[in-house]
Structure 1
Amino acid sequence: MLKTLDQSLAVLNKFTREHPSWGVRELASEMEMSHSIVYRILATYHKHGFLEQDKETRKYGLGLRFIEFGAMAGDRLGLAERIRPIMKRLSEATGESVFLTWLDGREGVCLDIYESSQLLKYALAVGSRTPLYAGASNKIIMAYLTQGEQERIIAEGLKAGKPPKSFPGKDKLLAGLQNIRQEGWAYSLGDYSDSVFGIAVPLFNRNSEVTASLTVAGPEYRMPQENVAHTLQLLRSARDEVQQVLQHLLFFA
């Protein structure tokens, strides 16, 4: 029974932004699983509304049930009512986009974003997953993990073929993470998009374990070095507000 559940969840995890739809044989080949097993799993998800099937291509994609679950997860986190207004104020004060990144396994997930009102801005899709060793929003989280966890993330991430645009190498990255932890904040430039900066601070649960991060990001030309300190001050103030909200959520233990 547990093996079947593991297989079913593994199948579901194959539906990503990079590969949002799958045919039965295509997915069976990708996962090196029996065609009949994959078909039964997909058909069961389809029956319960978790997957939809294109009538022409016969490929499966995520169904509307996930919109419901996403909305419920957002309500549980208190994003819309309690955290998003804080992100909005920070965005208006800095003129840049603000986003909340959550630690999920060995990746960072964009849980919410409040985009800058300016024409040229940084935008990120909610639900996007990125490796923890790239970008300020992820590096600040990774910096507070143990060195053993950091090394496993680097090894498995590179093996999975998800490096950022410029990976500095293991030793340099680990040294950088140590420095980030000492400073308590992270800065990145061009890890994913040329001339895009990110300034991030960590968020902790009641056990003082890093769980998320809050980030300000935008085009490099709007963030000269002399403006970084003031932006960081605004970011830390907003972080303290978000931290208070999260500390009162029962799941954030």
Structure 2
Amino acid sequence: MLKSLSTALDVLTKFTPRNPDWGLRELAKEMEMNHTVLYRILKTFEDKGFLIQDELTKKYELGSKIYDLLAVVQSKVNLSDLVVPLMKELSEVIEETVFLTWKDGYHGKTVEISESTQQIKFAVSIGYKTPLYVGASTKVMMAFLDEKEQLAIIKKGTEKFTDHTLVTEKEILSDLRKIKQAGWCYSEGEFAEDVFGIGVPIFGNGGKIVASLTVAGPVYRIYEEKKKECLKKIVG
């Protein structure tokens, strides 16, 4: 039992910034393991949420459960102290909600929030998931995926959350190209009525998109100069 546990943990340690995803065969070769044994381990981790398998490439990468564990570690060693104060300062200056979103498979998952002090504000909960094709916080991540991945996400099905939600392949791909070219995303009323969002991408090692930072609030408080100010502050 202990040997099996040790082997399973060894599998997880192979997922590093340098090698964030693995196919079954290449990982089996790397670890000199039997394919069947390794598949059972990977499948167990996937069922429990510690790994996810990309439907297009069939490669495995870390899943949301890892980030749940990371949140526990952060609370112990105060890693969040490096991020949250900056978000808090930004939300105070802009007077809108600022939140950090991790890419989690075909969704974005909210992991940190600094709420606006205004009485009327955009509210989001930690752990909340949003499809990648809708809203600034997630579309700005989807825009930096390759087109095959984008198409795979769209083909899984799209839902019209509001009248402003883009749902067809043509309009989504066209929008993503514009976002990638601009380097940031602005959305208005796409996921929730009367809410704006300004999202910028965050890249990991090797230039892979891993997260986004977003400013959001009620539409009536956004205007062109404030939009420019928010973008300048969030990028800077």
TM-score for both structures, normalised by structure 1: 0.65
2:161 and 2:192 in contact (8 A); partners too: no
C-alpha distance in 2, partners of 1:84/1:140? 21
Q: Quick check: 1:167 aligned with 2:204?
A: no
Give the number of aligned pairs: 182
In structure 2, what is the equivalent of residue 156 of structure 1?
A: 156
SS in 1 for 2:130: strand
Q: Specify the alignment match of 1:176 in structure 2.
A: 175
Name the SS for the 1:200 alignment partner: strand
Cα distance in 2, alignment partners of residues 77 and 216 from structure 1: 27
Q: Name 2:116's counterpart in structure 1.
A: 116
Quick one: which amino acid aligns to residue 119 of structure 1?
Q
- In 1, the alpha carbon distance for the partners of 2:113 and 2:77 equals 14
Deviations 1:26-69 (A, max 9, x none): xxxxxxxxxxxxxxxxxxxxxxxxxxxxxxxxxxxxxxxx9x83
Deviation at 1:209, TM superposition (A): 1.3
C-alpha contact (below 8 Å) 1:131/1:157 kept by paired residues: no
Aligned to 1:49: none
The separation in 1 between residues aligned to 2:132 and 2:222, in whole angstroms, is 23
The Cα of 1:146 is off from its aligned counterpart by 0.2
Q: What are the within-5 Å matches in structure 2 for residues 1-253 of structure 1?
A: 2-3=39-40, 6=43, 9-10=46-47, 69=69, 71-75=71-75, 80-158=80-158, 162-165=159-162, 166-237=165-236
What TM-score does the superposition give when structure 2 sets the normalisation length?
Answer: 0.69
Change (3 A) 1:175 1:126: same
| One-letter code aligned to 2:155 | A
8 Å Cα contact 2:139-2:176 kept in structure 1: yes
Q: Deviations over 1:4-42 (max 9, x none)?
A: 8736853x56xxxxxxxxxxxxxxxxxxxxxxxxxxxxx
**Structure 1 residue 75: Cα displacement:** 4.6
Residue 78 of structure 1 deviates from its aligned partner by 6.0
SS in 1 for 2:117: coil
1:88 alignment partner AA: K
Q: Deviations over 1:188-215 (max 9, x none)?
A: 1111211100001011112111111000
C-alpha RMSD over aligned residues: 2.7
* Aligned-partner SS, 2:144: coil
Following TM superposition, the consecutive aligned residue runs of length 4 or more in structure 1 with deviations greater than 6 angstroms are: none
Q: For each residue in 1:51-105, what CA deviation from the matched residue of structure 2 results, as whole angstroms up to 9, or x when unmatched?
A: xxxxxxxxxxxxxxx9x83642545996521000010010001000000000111
Residue ranges of structure 1 left out of the alignment (5+ in a row): 14-65, 238-253
Change (3 A) 1:143 1:129: same
Alpha-carbon distance, 1:231 to partner: 1.1
Question: Deviation at 1:172?
Answer: 1.0
Query: In percent, how many aligned pairs have the same letter?
Result: 38
Residue 227 of structure 1 and its aligned partner are, at CA, apart by: 1.5
For structure 2, the residue ranges without an aligned partner over 5 or more in a row are: 1-36, 50-65
What amino acid is the match of 1:217? A
